[in-house]
Homo-oligomer: A and B are copies of this chain.
């Protein structure tokens, strides 16, 4: 559908110009210079021709075939031009012109006008305020930016035009090829998600990269990304983690699960590889586009010098990859073929004097070792052999095996030719060994994600949704949890000390007294929680003392009484929370519970609905997850109960989208088989 933006049968340029300093000239120039083979129709009321192409005085004058219009007229004339395009039957429009939402209210109104035109004519619009599209295979270059990348198989989708300009210039210098490049501008119609789907459908594209500043369509993005990532790698650089946007939040979950964390969780869930710098974005993309994925994470390093190999190994180990244990066969085979002082253990060091033949034998042997999933080949500069011979050898060996090979040819002045050869043979090269290791880590991450079996979110049938709904209306979050099968410790509200003693007898000693007041949030901070009361006397005394003290300290607070709860012991404290993220909707958080959660920040997040193995992974990522398995003299706790409660909370979050925050802290987790109890529950509803 969006394909015509990259392969039109004819292009009209509304606002084409003869003045080389104008954008309307640059667009025509790029179409011509970068050899677009379809018809080029400049629209200009006064010119006869531009760069050899006949000009048309108005949009209706332009003959067929024309699928795509590029509009570069001033902002105030854009809507009229787009409308004429619609009338002319053109359903693909790129609005390059700026002066829209980015400039203020008037610009926003212009965007709304454009959106209406898009709807009226079922017209797809990229922009406004964008740079346009490039397809190196068509070839087509609708931008005004000087330069065209080589033909390649990496697509780049960007929310920033400047990034596109930078990438084009960088790609030309580095000799990296691209398939499609697109700048989306203000996204009045076509958004990132839709564009990702479109470029993913391009057979020439092997890897999709994107620069994203923000998403409004979080869920659709996740769905699309996951679907795409099953077939082709998606690598995203997400920018913008300023602290500016932090709002007041009602719970720990709100404070811990910010927007940055939500993006992380969403990307991880949907198989998106998240690069942290521009360099990583394209380092990873090259490796993913050019080499097969490793089947496992056992890496061999082949080098002619110790230092660079150590740097690679440092990075691999830090990233959780393993150095392969080479088989005895490999070592025996290599030993007589390498210099006597060489190391045949991984990293295999062939020493400074070894040339392409030794590398060829060693690389072929390593890559054939069943204990090796991938090889990083390093060469430090040496003066005995041509770097390009080594490049030929690496390319040749890599091509006949089905395992990834990444190269680091160190140096800069003397290695140009070698790098060119490796590029051409589709072996990614990196100036420093750490960068090769980083790219390999991304490849292993992707393989691991692909290996995770597809699993449906768990859905519990034993829930009483109607009861939960009624509880939610009264903002009785405890009752809501109970309706969803989450256990609370036996308890009851006491209005006076006599009540309290009766209830304590019923739930069983020891008990806890907890202040009930809507006006006081952190009850334990104000002395509203009294633990471990063992008999009638102490219950009576503490009840009266506490109510008196709270009345004195908070004369205006409404106090309902105190909750008398059976006190649990011998368990561990966990927090399980859900929050509604503005981009991604409900997400679930799990971590170390108690009053110190914000100090400890031992949490992990996932986007709801959760699957069981996702909940397991989240818990595994936290310290408390390991602690729940037992630690030293702490007995193993009921981890499965925690996972079940995470899943039930996920179901609540998805069933009641009006919940903005809901949290159990502490969830008190008893030893193996004894379950977990929601000791304290807190929640908030979205203000409509």
Contacts and interface: CB of A to CB of B under 8 A. Distances in A.
Contact of A431 (B158, B170, B308): B170
Contacts of A103: 340-341
Given A166-B410, A277-B432, A278-B434, 10 more contacts: A103-B340, A159-B307, A163-B308, A165-B382, A166-B381, A169-B415, A173-B412, A213-B307, A239-B311, A524-B633
A256 to B, nearest CB: 14
Contact of A411 (B173, B313, B383, B411): B173
Q: Which of A239, A276, A382, A432 has the most CB of B within 10 A?
A: A239
B599 A631 contact: yes
A506 interface: no
A41 interface: no
A21 B355 CA distance: 13
Contacts of A241: 314, 317-318
A172 interface: yes
A21 B627 CA distance: 62
A569 interface: no
Contacts of A306: 160, 162, 213
A595 B632 contact: yes
Contacts of A161: 305, 352
Contact of A307 (B99, B145, B174, B211): B211
Q: Which 5 A-B pairs have the closest CB atoms?
A: A173-B412, A162-B305, A169-B411, A160-B307, A162-B380
Contacts of A165: 305, 380-382, 410-411
A119 B190 CA distance: 77
Given A380-B162, A632-B522, A239 B307 contact: yes
Interface in A266-305: 276-279, 304-305
Given A412-B169, A431-B170, A432-B278, A383 B341 contact: no
Interface string A301-331: 0001111101101100110000000000000
Contacts of A305: 160-163, 165
A144 B353 CA distance: 13
Nearest to A239: B310
A163 B434 CA distance: 13
A380 B163 contact: yes
Contacts of A162: 304-308, 352, 380-381, 410
A473 interface: no
B240 A314 contact: yes
A147 interface: yes
Contacts of A631: 595-596, 599
Contacts of A159: 307
Q: Which of A102, A104, A413 has the most CB of B within 10 A?
A: A413
A171 B634 CA distance: 56
Given A147-B413, A307-B211, A380 B242 contact: no
A394 interface: no
A26 B382 CA distance: 12
A557 interface: no
A341 B211 CA distance: 23
Interface string A519-546: 0001011000000000000000000000
A304 B304 CA distance: 44
A623 interface: yes
B411 A239 contact: no
A412 B596 contact: no
Nearest to A351: B98
A393 interface: no
Contacts of A102: 341
Contacts of A318: 241
A481 to B, nearest CB: 24
Contacts of A632: 522, 524-525, 595-596
A340 B98 CA distance: 13
26 contacts: A103-B340, A103-B341, A144-B383, A147-B414, A159-B307, A162-B307, A162-B352, A163-B305, A165-B380, A166-B380, A172-B412, A173-B412, A213-B307, A213-B310, A239-B310, A240-B314, A241-B318, A277-B432, A277-B434, A278-B311, A279-B432, A522-B632, A595-B634, A596-B631, A599-B626, A599-B631
B341 A145 contact: no
Interface of A: 21, 26, 98-99, 102-104, 144-147, 158-163, 165-166, 168-174, 211, 213, 237, 239-243, 276-279, 304-308, 310-311, 313-314, 317-318, 340-341, 352, 380-384, 410-415, 431-432, 434-435, 522, 524-525, 595-596, 599-600, 623, 626-627, 631-634
Nearest to A525: B633
A51 B600 CA distance: 69
A381 B168 contact: yes
A169 B414 contact: yes
A578 B250 CA distance: 42
Given A241-B318, A277-B432, A174 B384 contact: no
A169 B524 contact: no
A242 B596 contact: no
A168 B305 CA distance: 15
A355 B245 CA distance: 32
A431 B169 CA distance: 11
B414 A383 contact: no
Contacts of A310: 213, 239-240, 242
B242 A313 contact: yes
A104 B414 CA distance: 33
Nearest to A524: B633
A26 B383 contact: yes
A383 B595 contact: no
A304 B160 CA distance: 12
Contacts of A237: 311
Contacts of A623: 599-600
A170 B522 contact: no
A237 B631 CA distance: 37
A90 to B, nearest CB: 27
Contact of A599 (B314, B524, B627): B627
A173 B417 CA distance: 13
B317 A242 contact: yes
Nearest to A415: B169
Contacts of A171: 412
Nearest to A104: B341
A383 B600 CA distance: 50
B596 A411 contact: no
